[in-house]
Chain A
Amino acid sequence: MYIGKVIGDVVSTIKYDTLKSYKILIVQPLNPDMSERGQPILALDMVDAGKGDVVLVVDQGTAARTVLAMEYPTVRTLILGIVDRIDLRQEASR
């Protein structure tokens, strides 16, 4: 899991059946010190997050399977929670 910031959303009318009813958000992955890390990624929203929220993200196929309760999910990146606070005690590598 990692943290990221919601920087936008994707509106899509025509989509694959298994993605129906889910909101697709654009997440910029972050380091614990809130600096950006890597490229933005599209994630399914499980917690009604919105633009500007710092969120907890998982990027693993089997994880998506447990949350979506689907045997064959077609997505691997999910927003699991909204981060209230990060307490960083020591310098991290980026």
Chain B
Amino acid sequence: MHIGKVIGTVVVTRKIEQLKGAKFLIVQPLDPDLKLAGKPLIAIDNVMAGPGDVVYYVRGREAAHTREDKFNPADAAIMGIVDRVDL
């Protein structure tokens, strides 16, 4: 999993059936010291995160497993909201 910051939302009304009801957030990847680290991506949200939240997210097939119907094409999913990072 990786740390990132939610920097925005994407509204997608017309979409494939398997992602109906999904919330899409724009995540800016961060280093553990919270510096920018790479290009923003779109992730589905499972923890009611919102813009400004520092979160951690999983990439790859496992992201799809966070939805009730596991047979979906999500490749990034927010798994939690970070309260604090101690380094």
Residues of B in contact (CB 8 Å), total 35
Report if B76 contacts A (CB, 8 A).
Answer: yes
B41 touches A93 (CB 8 A): no
Interface residues on A, range: 20 to 34
Q: For the complex, would chain B's binding face be called helix, strand, loop or mixed by DSSP majority?
A: mixed
Does more than half of chain A's interface fall in helix, strand or loop, or is it mixed?
mixed
Contact of B16 among A31, A60, A67, A94 (CB under 8 A): A67
Given contacts A32-B8, A87-B9, A90-B5, contact A66 B15 (CB under 8 A): no
Nearest 7 pairs of A and B residues by beta carbon: A81-B15, A63-B73, A81-B12, A89-B51, A88-B8, A1-B42, A93-B36
